[in-house]
């Protein structure tokens, strides 16, 4: 299964647009340098999957020599589980090592904290610990421009 065989011409046009924007941002803002070790946090949603694919494509141009791996944090006490087989197939096709970590967020004993806050906090903590323990110096998160506004509204309600 190649990336181009699963997308329409319309989708390929948009994917190439995103890849070009990513490459420009990486160059303009010096987001990646030679010998960086980049960890991509993959939720299973389209934002993080596009980021993983775009970084994988960027790596192939060998503008910078950097390592690229992906990680998915599974929160066991949340009633959602990503399709691990799909993530493994995608990462294998992209030539990127996929890591999985299972954690507990303590949702049942959260007190007054919202479950979304607690889950997010524990996922970020696990990401930072994994990145630090395994020598990653860059952490890539796939967020879109509306994420900050959505998070603010969720936390206000």
Structural domains of the chain, with CATH: 4-156 (3.40.50.620)
pLDDT in the model for residue 150: 67
pLDDT at residue 144 is higher than 90: no
Q: What is the CB neighbour count within 10 angstroms for residue 91?
A: 23
pTM of structure: 0.85
pLDDT at residue 116 is higher than 90: no
Structure tokens given for 8: 């329409």
**In the predicted model, what is the mean pLDDT of the chain?**
87
pLDDT at residue 5 is higher than 60: no
Residue 138 near residue 36 (C-beta atoms within 8 A): yes
């Amino acid at each position: 299964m190649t990336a181009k065989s699963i997308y329409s011409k319309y989708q390929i046009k948009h994917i190439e647009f995103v890849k070009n924007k990513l490459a420009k941002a990486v160059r303009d803002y010096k987001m990646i340098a030679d010998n960086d070790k980049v960890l991509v946090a993959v939720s299973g949603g389209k934002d993080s999957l596009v980021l993983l694919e775009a970084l994988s494509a960027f790596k192939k141009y060998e503008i910078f020599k950097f390592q690229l791996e992906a990680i998915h944090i599974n929160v066991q006490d949340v009633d959602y589980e990503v399709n691990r087989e799909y993530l493994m197939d995608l990462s294998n096709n992209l030539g990127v090592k996929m890591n999985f970590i299972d954690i507990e967020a303590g949702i049942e004993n959260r007190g007054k904290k919202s479950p979304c806050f607690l889950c997010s906090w524990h996922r970020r903590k696990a990401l930072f610990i994994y990145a630090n323990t395994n020598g990653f110096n860059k952490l890539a998160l796939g967020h879109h421009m509306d994420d900050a506004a959505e998070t603010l509204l969720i936390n206000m309600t």
